Amino acid sequence: MRWTGPQGEFAFQTLNLQQWDFFFLLAFLIGLYSIHRLVLVKEVGEVKERVIIQELFSEIGRTTRNLSTIWGLRYVIRLPLSFTKKTLRRKK
**Predicted confidence (pLDDT) per residue in 10-21, tens digit:** 887 777 778 888
Indicate the pLDDT class of residue 6, thresholds 50, 70 and 90.
confident
Q: How far apart are CA 41 and CA 80, in angstroms?
A: 32
Task: Please tell me which residue, 87 or 13, carries the higher pLDDT value.
Answer: 13
| pLDDT at residue 24 greater than cutoff 70 | yes
pTM of the predicted protein model = 0.39
